[in-house]
Structure 1
Amino acid sequence: MPDHGDVREVKGPQVVDSQVRVYSVPPRSGARPDEIVEGFLEAMKSDDPGFDTARKYLTRNASSKWNPSEGTAVLEEGPIREEPSGSANAAAPVYGLAGRQVAALDRQSAYQSAKKPYSQQLRLVREKGSDKKSDGGEWRIDTPPKGLVLGESDFQRIFRPVNKYYFASDPATDDPKERWLVADPVYVRKRTDPQSRLDPVAQAVKALLDGPSLWLKPVVGSRFPTGAGLKGGVKALTIGDHNSIKVPLNEKAANVNQRGCLEMAAQLLFTLRDLTSTSRLDQVEIQDDEESQLCVLGGDQAGAYAPGGSSSIPAYYYFLDDKRRLVRILGEADTNDAKPVPGALGESGLQLKSVGVSRDENYVAGVAADGHRLQVAPMAAGSGTADTLYTSRSTTKEPLSAPSWDSRNDLWIADRDPKAPRLLRMVDGTGSPEEIPVEGLGGGIVDSLRVSADGVRIALLVSDAKGHKTLRVGRIERRGASEENAVAVVGLRPGAPQMEEVTAMSWAGHSRLVVVGREKDGVQQMRYVQTDGSTSAAGLLPGANQVTAVAASDVDRFPLLAQSQGDGILRLQPGANWKTVAREGWLPVYPG
């Protein structure tokens, strides 16, 4: 350590971006047809601006028509080149591309799971260069695939998921209960997009301005006017001083009123916070096309629009103790000191089979020990007895699933009666049971359910005739009280397509679930999956012994909970290992 001399400012080294950039090689003169095909497949993985090198493998006509932004086919492995049939000297050899497709990105960059064979034909012809000097011309591809074709490992190297945010209902409503945001997952490139030349932040903003994905669109709305976009020529957006960002928009956004502008800023703030998770974003300024300020939204104002509403941060987590009583522990406390909850379904000692706690933590819904009766009571000392809202007529054992509450304080439960399976909703947690139709079950039965914090999506474990369970995610559409089936669950899609069976699940973020299950011929594993069915190696969680139930909060700092047949109730703090909370216990839950 120096002990004398002046104090001087020393500039630290520049942060080096260590991510590998891929640049492709143009075709050599006289390249064989197979070399052209292989070179084109490699060039689709590159960062070349405009995919210029990939286009050099195409005929001039094909290059003018090929649009890499049209979509992306994601294959389990890279596409396999199949040799052409017939003579090797054919005038127009046709090579096949084959593989096992696992997903596709559409024009909106939304991920769609797709387990199916992939097949594409590439026809090659000889084309003379513009100088007309080559005798027979060079081999070039005349029929390229639509969009890009990538192996899964290249897809994960090139793209990253990001949530863009829209309002759960018409944002013009005056009801503050209807103004929270909903996550809509898409994928953007980790580096500058070769086609649009937008950096990742600008890509995320453009994706937001382009509107919600087709799957989510029926249940959300955007505050951005039709045609709103980034100011012409803007290709990059940077987070500046005080963790703030300025977003200049085109003239379509100029006439929005102040409330509308703030709601637009909220959509931007939550979208860019998700993208820039390593550096907290505290302020968004929206500018017009002359870069004059339209409005500013700070992080302290954003809570009014938080996904799931103001009750999205839980105070406690809950489980049934060794006496089947409902107990709770402070959510962020590093303690195993569980206390019975106040009220008729806690301190009274009533035994329960399963529970659901309202998101404001004022009410408890519990399935009685007989498995047939749904009861609800306030979570308050001296609140008297519990009300029985529903009784299953099934003669089977434990026909009722665990209950779940949505953001509107409505209560949901599944009756697994084989003769009359039903999904039920009780408005405000007190109303008469209303049967909710579920489109696309295909003869399956809803075995268990969890409603998302935003109240517009629902995760279902669906059991087939053999008791085999798979995860489906659906939209909750509210079509107006005057319509038949005013509320319905529609648009079911696989929630964990890589797993052959899922035995437990919970929401674990704005567009993420934690699931327990197994892949084909595999052992039990626990991992995070996106609601669009995508996953990554980073989503795999440390294993626990024979997990039968799992619970998570939308807030990352709260622990993950699990029920283990051998170890009771377990807790997993971020970056730590599993710890035992209670040696005997059942069904841990967070509010919701």
Structure 2
Amino acid sequence: MIALLGCGVVLLSACGSMPVTGDIKAVDASQPGDSQVQVYAVAPRENATPAEVVDGFLESMTSDDPGFRTTRKYLTKEASRTWKPSAFTTVLSKAPNRSPRPVRDSDRSSTELTFTLTGEKVATVDAQSAYQPVVPTGFNRSLHLVQQNGSKEWRIDFVPDGLLLGQSDFKRLYRSVNKYYFATGPAADQSTLVADPVYVRNRTDPITGMDTVTQTIRSLVEGPTNWLRPVVDSRFPTGTVLRKGVTALAPDDRNVLKVPLNKKVDGVGQRACRMMASQVMYTVRDLTSARVEQVELQRSDGSSLCVLGSGQAEEFAPDGSSGGPDSQYFVDDNGHVQRIPGSTKGSGDPEPVAGPLGDGPVRMSTVGVARDEQLAAAVSQDSASLYVASVVSAGELPEPAVTSKAKKSEDRLSAPSWDGRGDLWVADRNPDDRRLLRLAGGTGEPSNVRVPDLGGARIEALRLSADGVRIALLLTEDGHTTLKIGRIERQGDPGPRQDVSVVELRKAAPQLADVTAMSWSGRSRLVVVGKEQGGVQQVRYVQADGSAPPSGVLPGANQVSSVAAADDEQLPLMADTEDDGIVKLSPGDNWQTVLKKGSSLVYPG
């Protein structure tokens, strides 16, 4: 394998290396390395052994080989013609293992061999670039080789479509990006952007020849991934693609990103165009070295369709980074709800909230605050009753909005959570009547939410995303508690009678055998507290698609029982601990104690 590192040139090979300029290093391409290392494939040598052909083919799949032209030299002409590397990617925990010896197709055959590839499968990435983690499972695949007629050269004549990569190579070659689409459905805020995470190549894509920004915009205009598609919509008309031949997009010297499109957008109105431009603006904001100040969408003839500035895009901001709530709320030792004022980043003096939750007669155990910080929901200390009341004005404590009849407190109500549409959610864990409940507007009659994929699992905890289309659930089954993400689908008119269901649950942290706490942290990321099989407790980030971001493991804290993060990722992470009380973790800092007494600290949501 040959690789270029940074501005210098370094030749790398699994067998050795030869100098051009700079230092010389011999490395295995499948070992963890810098994502800036560019690796090129090496063609099979003359009279290569069957094992060398298989090894060379596997290594060449980890390269930046344009069109996989060199990679295809390990295949027969027919296999090269039909192989589709972009169909999907299988991710293994480590590079695949090859059986040390091939199996002959028959005792008489001297021109056909089969090698077995094995490993531990941890994820797949489909043709839409959507990542899907799996519980680590055994992987087994065969490669069939033939000795070509009139030649002693061995080539692979049967290879399944797609790429096969170890986890370290996958992380080196690909990066996670968020595409953005608008929430749909009854009661949806049609200007709410929803993050749709996908994986794109770190540099030039071997198949399309596009750089990372262009790959991402191409994926954006093609539409949302299948899992999210039922609840979001794109303002790009169906059939929109980048203008033919576009492979590199970057902001100009005025930080304007110009996106040339085909004739499908030529007749789009200004409002729709600005919404399309906002999708681009938020999708590329973490991809370019220079901040994109304007997005200009162009018609098929190159004329300007519309221009959107970064300030104008704030109308569609998908998170709390534009004046969103940054106060924290918790339950004090007397069972009353208190607030740490915003703009203090967790360092302000707590104060009781106004209204009956701040000084009322009922002691509370957990609390959830609406994102507009007008209402809060609190669960009584015995977990039997849910109360909803104002936190900005005085009043009497109302009757419970929800009551659980379970005999044990641990089988009663979960901590409540509010979605981005102003609805309140809570789970009743009663073994005799398990329910996921939604209160429209926070004050309506509770209605049952269907969860068809729940099976025999019990909902222990829940958190709603700010966009209102996803829910994170801690589910207990067979003695383990795991984290799953569900898609929220709504049918009918808004209100208590609206038909709401949570569908297509998917694992979000399969590497953890038990998860004890979680919270949304930004657009498509969660912070979780849990343990690997036989391991110790850890606090880490996971993406909403289940992938683990680089440097996702956070500094450890002692015996964390709950965790809270804000929509704005720059605000500190907060946690309840048994020994140190409520602690916070600011970006680039260590855990610090905020309050020695108190529990159930939350951000609005």
Decide whether aligned partners of structure 1 residues 310 and 564 sit closer, same or farther in structure 2, where only a CA change above 3 A counts.
closer
Distance 1:178 1:262 in 2: 13
Indicate the residue corresponding to 1:295 in structure 2: 306
1:314/1:591 contact within 8 Å kept: yes
The one-letter amino acid paired with 1:495 is A
Kept in 1, the 8 Å contact 2:459–2:475? The answer is: yes
Q: Does 1:490 align with 2:503?
A: yes
8 A contact 1:437–1:489 mirrored in 2: yes
User: Aligned partners of 1:311 and 1:365: how far apart in 2?
Assistant: 25
Instruction: Classify the secondary structure of the residue corresponding to 1:63.
Output: helix
Partner of 1:284: 295
Does residue 79 of the first structure (1) align with residue 79 of the second (2)? no
Distance 2:359 2:284 in 1: 44
Is structure 2 residue 575 aligned with structure 1 residue 562? yes
2:173 match: 158
Q: Secondary structure of 1:22's partner?
A: strand
Residue 49 of structure 1, aligned match among 57, 66, 71: 66
C-alpha separation in 2, matches of 1:537 and 1:163: 15
Q: Select the residue among 504, 509, 515 that pairs with 1:502.
A: 515
- Alpha-carbon separation, structure 1, partners of 2:430 and 2:540: 30
Structure 1 residue runs of 5 or longer lacking an equivalent are 1-14, 129-134
Amino acid at match of 1:160: R
Alpha-carbon shift at residue 581 of structure 1 (Å): 0.5
- 1:208 matched to 2:220? The reply is yes
Distance 1:406 1:239 in 2: 35
Contact 1:304–1:310, Cα closer than 8 Å, also in 2: no
Mean Cα displacement is larger for which, 391-400 or 540-549?
391-400
Give the secondary structure class of the aligned counterpart of 1:97.
strand
Give 3-state SS (helix, strand or coil) of 2:151's partner: coil
Alignment of 1:389-428 (within 5 A): 389-398=401-410, 399-428=412-441
Q: Which residue of 1 aligns with 2:133?
A: 113
Q: Report the CA distance between 1:350 and its aligned residue.
A: 4.6
User: Structure 1 residue 210: deviation in Å?
Assistant: 1.5
Question: TM-score, normalising length from structure 1?
Answer: 0.92
Q: Offset at 1:528?
A: 0.2
- Alignment RMSD (CA, Å): 2.1
State the 1:549 CA deviation: 0.2
In the TM superposition, 1:338-357 aligns within 5 A as 338-348=350-360, 350-357=362-369
Trace 1:369-384 onto structure 2 (pairs within 5 A).
369-384=381-396
SS in 2 for 1:21: strand
Relative distance call for 1:497 and 1:139 in structure 2 (3 A) is same
Q: How does 1:217-256 map to 2 (within 5 A)?
A: 217-256=229-268
Q: Secondary structure at the match of 1:304?
A: helix
- 2: CA distance between counterparts of 1:369 and 1:218? 39
1:126 aligns with 2:143: no
Q: State the alpha-carbon separation in 1 of the partners of residues 301 and 83 from structure 2.
A: 35
Distance 2:586 2:322 in 1: 22
- Confirm or deny that 1:188 pairs with 2:206: no
Q: What is the DSSP-based 3-state SS (H/G/I as helix, E as strand, rest coil) of the residue aligned with 2:112?
A: coil
What SS class does the counterpart of residue 385 from structure 1 fall into? coil
The separation in 1 between residues aligned to 2:59 and 2:323, in whole angstroms, is: 45
Q: 1:62 — aligned with what?
A: 79
- Which region of structure 1 is more displaced relative to structure 2, 453-462 or 528-537? 528-537
Alignment check: 8 A CA contact 1:225 1:253 kept: yes
Deviation track 1:388-429 (CA, whole Å, cap 9, x = no partner) reads 211112222151101111111111000010111100001011
Q: 1: distance between equivalents of 2:265 and 2:108?
A: 58
- For the 8 Å contact 1:312–1:554, the answer to whether it is kept is no
Q: Does the aligned pair in 1 maintain the 2:320–2:567 contact within 8 Å?
A: no
Structure-2 change in CA distance of 1:514 and 1:501 (3 Å): same
- Alpha carbons of structure 1 residues 351 and 312: separation in structure 2 relative to 1, 3 Å: farther
Distance in 2 (CA, whole Å) between partners of 1:533 and 1:88 is 48
Aligned length: 567
Give SS of 1:460's match. Answer: strand
Structure 1 counterpart of 2:338, from 298, 323, 327? 327
Aligned with 2:235: secondary structure?
coil
Query: What secondary structure is seen at the aligned counterpart in 1 of 2:57?
Result: helix
**Conserved 8 A contact 1:377-1:387:** no
Instruction: Indicate conservation of the 8 Å contact 2:321/2:568, yes or no.
Output: no
Counterparts of 1:434 and 1:350 in 2: how far apart (Å)? 25
- Distance between the aligned counterparts of 2:188 and 2:430, measured in 1? 38
Aligned partner (choices 13, 17, 23) of residue 40 of structure 2:
23
Displacement of 1:288: 1.0
For residues 386 and 402 of structure 1, the distance between their equivalents in structure 2, rounded to whole angstroms, comes to 18
SS of 2:273's equivalent in the other structure is: helix
- 2 CA distance for matches of 1:458 and 1:309? 18
* Alpha-carbon offset, residue 526 of structure 1: 0.4
* Corresponding residue SS for 2:413: coil
Could you list the runs of 5+ residues in structure 2 that have no partner in the other structure? 1-5, 9-33
Aligned mates of 2:396, 2:80 — CA distance in 1: 75
TM-score by length of structure 2 reads 0.90
